Structure 1
Amino acid sequence: MRKNEPTGVETLPPGVIDVPATPDACRGRLVERARLEWRCGDGGDPAALAQDFLTGHGVAVADLGRPARHDPDGVCGAALYLSAAAGALLAGAAPAAATPVPALPDLVVVVYGHTDRPGPRAADPRRPAAGPRAVAGRPDAAAPRWWLGSWRESWTPAQHADAVEAVRAAIGRGDVYQVNLVGHAAAPYAGDPLAALARLGALPGARYGGTLSGLDWAIGCASPETLIEVDGGRLVTRPIKGTRPATAAGRRELLASAKERAEHVMIVDLERNDLARVARTGSVRVDELFAVRRWCDLWQAESTVSAAAADGLGLADLLRAVCPGGSVTGAPKLAALDRIAALEPVGRGASMGAFGWVGAGRIDLGLTIRTAAADAGRLHVWAGGGITWGSDPEAEVAEAAAKAAPVRALLAAG
């Protein structure tokens, strides 16, 4: 575990904070005050650690239903990132495969204060190192321009299809109803990875576009999906499940698909149950069901589920209730996590976790789908989809590739 306290950090030149859901009025005048980084091997409860750290630095998260005031001159709030592996730990699941990005922590909390010294993006000594040694064999390796090598998949299309069939067999035995399978790919790079990752926020539909970086790691997010939002004591989640090409025919096909609707409703029910654990009795409701919205060149089905926060609800209990997100695990959640641990060849790294902003009276965390990460030598991407009894293996492989394609294309851009 690593903590950076204000001494020294405060003197870093201020840059534009790109964390998803950062208050617009505060962008350009925020400076890092303190940082917590934790990994699953460190031991302890990441949800409790996050709440205690934030409370200790003046961010009120012990009672999310209590009114709180934003201080324009003091602490603004904090970035919060929680990995899928940390979420599985909170849920009591068995450990999954090792992460392909060991430099990346499983919990990051960065507290920001206001400064009167707005300025352009500053060089950050915590960015991943990049250089010719990471790209042996590349011509003109000393050139500082951006370069991205070939992607190497963590499994072949045939292995992915076999995993889909294994889930279908588990459903046939009654072990699970649905499992979300995720694949991974990595590519070598040279240049500034944070600049490349920051481009992801410009993708159409990237509600949680933004970046976060540390020593030899960085995350870039283009997620459209709300894991949990808290505002004025109201809890909101917006699960996404169901995908088609963003054409008129694709929209009609998605709306007419009994398979996609059944898969979607199953996850909505799971999210309703998750919120009910931390909500006032009888307050959970589905505000919108199976609305079709666009992300890049894909249609996706999204619902909105909300509830009133239970009295005294703190951030730690909220994270324990909603992590990992039901739309990227399956149902029942623990049984689905067992299948994921058995079938996925590498860990989910930066993907399928939580990433966003925690501030006074407001929390807005996206689910880290459409998310990439960098370490000192490689970029990493993940993509997948929910598997049900009606899933076609070839179609599931193609859907995962379609979700990853815009992210890969933008990362490759010069």
Structure 2
Amino acid sequence: MRQVRPYGVEALPRPPVDIPGVPVACRTVLVERDRCEWTVTDGGDPAELIETFLAGHGIDLRDLARPARHDPYGACGAAVFVSAAAGAVMAGGPLGAPTPAPALPDVAVVVYAHDPHLAAARTPAPPARWRLGDWRESWTPRQHADAVQAVRAAIGRGDVYQVNVVGHAAADYRGDAGPVLSRLAALPGARYGGTLHGDGWAIGCASPETLIELRAARLLTRPIKGTRPATADGRRDLLASAKERAEHIMIVDLERNDLARVARTGSVRVDELFAVRRWCDLWQAESTVSAQPADGLGLAGLLRALCPGGSVTGAPKLAALHHIAALEPVGRGASMGALGWVAPGHVDLGLTIRTAAADNDRLHVWAGGGITVDSDPAAEVAEAAAKAAPVRALLAAG
């Protein structure tokens, strides 16, 4: 992991920090103190590097079961981003195709501290001219459908039960991508709406899905599986679909098993099963799985157990990662990873679905879905397009 200079500290005007999960009361009084970035070519254990770097700045997450308090005078907390590729490293799986956005790190950890004197200096930037070119897909609808068929064949052979396949698109842009990416947070249902910026890259997130949250000494994950148009008929169809419910329960079982690896024995439970909630113009099915952390569980162990998220890989997870690596033509970049906020006694990381990223001259988006033996290839292609459409439309509007 490379320690790099704090990004944008001297630049004015400075907008409020809008990392997903950052305490609302602290947003206007935070200053970046230090950051580290890591890519898969750096080697080593990214989970251990994250935990160690945070501990060196007074954010001790080496025992999540231990009570902790917010320090109003020291480090408030840190933004943490983990790519899908970094998650694959943590899980011991294959990396797959190269990322289409190599300017982005695979891990970024940004430590923030309180500085109330900054509040008066934070003013909004003036609107910038914006132009977005045409989207170029990483695969055709036919190639996407062929990948769905390949997964169905693998399920028929007994290799896997479910695999999530993801497509990518990129478009040239002119202007400042930061304000445009920040608008994604306003999309309805964006529980993890926010941005993270670095030197030559930026990520904008509108995710509704919790990868992992530590709240009141309890771990929670909220997997999402199952999608329909947000109409009355769509809601009835989602609730009645045996295929969607079976797909969903597979992932809930996977998340239960992932949490059980790091939980106090007997503490894992399903608090809510197949609740239908709205994101933009889509209904989605969500469950809540929770557990008590085992004594001595640190952030590194938690990340190794949960990354990459089960709902964007499949079951069994390692077998699904091998099929993903073989089928997807480009890497997942900023998508299907984790982004959020950590602090002593507090972890809140969203799964980076409905996420876009910018490098120096291109915007990138990703979308996909879980494939089961009953999946219809044309319907899966259409579902991925429906998930990407609100993000693309907002980015085009500038």
TM-score (norm 2): 0.97
8 Å Cα contact 1:60/1:68 also seen in 2? no
Letter in 2 for 1:208: Y
Matches for 1:188-203 after TM superposition, within 5 Å:
188-203=172-187
8 Å Cα contact 1:223/1:371 also seen in 2? yes
Distance in 1 (alpha carbons) for counterparts of 2:2 and 2:254: 35
Distance in 1 (alpha carbons) for counterparts of 2:75 and 2:50: 16
Distance in 1 (alpha carbons) for counterparts of 2:5 and 2:328: 37
Secondary structure of the corresponding residue to residue 28 of structure 1: helix
**Which moved further from structure 2: 14-23 or 355-364?**
14-23
Distance in 1 (alpha carbons) for counterparts of 2:174 and 2:337: 27
8 Å Cα contact 1:350/1:371 also seen in 2? yes
Letter in 1 for 2:129: R
Distance in 2 (alpha carbons) for counterparts of 1:355 and 1:305: 19
Which of 257, 265, 272 is 2:256 aligned to?
A: 272
Residue in structure 2 matched with residue 344 of structure 1 by the alignment:
328
Secondary structure of the corresponding residue to residue 28 of structure 2: coil
Shift of 1:121: 5.0
Residue in structure 2 matched with residue 145 of structure 1 by the alignment:
129
Tell me, which stretches of 5 or more residues in structure 2 are unaligned?
Answer: none
Shift of 1:17: 0.3
Shift of 1:74: 1.5
Residue in structure 2 matched with residue 19 of structure 1 by the alignment:
19
CA RMSD across the alignment: 1.4
Q: 1:164-186: CA deviations, max 9, x gaps?
A: 00000000000000000000000
Residue in structure 2 matched with residue 383 of structure 1 by the alignment:
367
Residue in structure 1 matched with residue 30 of structure 2 by the alignment:
30
| Structure 1 pair 169–253 and aligned structure 2 pair: CA distance change class (3 A) | same
Which of 120, 137, 141 is 2:122 aligned to?
A: 120
Residue in structure 2 matched with residue 109 of structure 1 by the alignment:
109
Distance in 2 (alpha carbons) for counterparts of 1:46 and 1:12: 30
| Structure 1 pair 121–173 and aligned structure 2 pair: CA distance change class (3 A) | farther
Secondary structure of the corresponding residue to residue 284 of structure 2: strand
Q: 1:134-186: CA deviations, max 9, x gaps?
A: xxxxxxxxx96100000000000000000000000000000000000000000
Residue in structure 2 matched with residue 291 of structure 1 by the alignment:
275
| Structure 1 pair 121–313 and aligned structure 2 pair: CA distance change class (3 A) | farther
Shift of 1:4: 3.2
Residue in structure 2 matched with residue 78 of structure 1 by the alignment:
78
8 Å Cα contact 1:15/1:31 also seen in 2? no
8 Å Cα contact 1:39/1:105 also seen in 2? yes
Q: 1:83-142: CA deviations, max 9, x gaps?
A: 00000011111220000000000000000000112132577xxxxxxxxxxxxxxxxxxx
Identity %: 75
Matches for 1:167-178 after TM superposition, within 5 Å:
167-178=151-162
Shift of 1:5: 5.8
**Structure 1 consecutive aligned stretches of length 4 or more whose deviation exceeds 4 Å:** 8-14
Distance in 1 (alpha carbons) for counterparts of 2:340 and 2:94: 26
Shift of 1:72: 1.2
Distance in 2 (alpha carbons) for counterparts of 1:2 and 1:361: 26
Distance in 1 (alpha carbons) for counterparts of 2:274 and 2:216: 25
Letter in 2 for 1:97: A
Q: Residue 230 in 1 paired to residue 232 in 2?
A: no
Tell me, which stretches of 5 or more residues in structure 1 are unaligned?
Answer: 124-142
8 Å Cα contact 1:178/1:330 also seen in 2? yes
Residue in structure 1 matched with residue 163 of structure 2 by the alignment:
179
Letter in 2 for 1:187: A
Residue in structure 1 matched with residue 143 of structure 2 by the alignment:
159
Aligned residues: 394
Letter in 2 for 1:292: V
Q: 1:352-377: CA deviations, max 9, x gaps?
A: 00000001211000000000000001
Distance in 2 (alpha carbons) for counterparts of 1:307 and 1:395: 35
Distance in 1 (alpha carbons) for counterparts of 2:391 and 2:279: 11
Q: 1:176-217: CA deviations, max 9, x gaps?
A: 000000000000000110111000000000000000011111
Secondary structure of the corresponding residue to residue 205 of structure 1: coil
| Structure 1 pair 207–282 and aligned structure 2 pair: CA distance change class (3 A) | same
Distance in 2 (alpha carbons) for counterparts of 1:70 and 1:93: 36
Distance in 2 (alpha carbons) for counterparts of 1:5 and 1:83: 21
Residue in structure 2 matched with residue 370 of structure 1 by the alignment:
354
**Which moved further from structure 2: 76-85 or 8-17?**
8-17
Distance in 1 (alpha carbons) for counterparts of 2:4 and 2:157: 50
| Structure 1 pair 393–4 and aligned structure 2 pair: CA distance change class (3 A) | same
Q: Residue 399 in 1 paired to residue 383 in 2?
A: yes
8 Å Cα contact 1:9/1:34 also seen in 2? no
Distance in 1 (alpha carbons) for counterparts of 2:10 and 2:355: 30
Q: 1:294-342: CA deviations, max 9, x gaps?
A: 0000000000000000001100000000000000000000000000000
Residue in structure 1 matched with residue 40 of structure 2 by the alignment:
40
8 Å Cα contact 1:66/1:361 also seen in 2? yes
Residue in structure 1 matched with residue 2 of structure 2 by the alignment:
2
8 Å Cα contact 1:15/1:30 also seen in 2? no
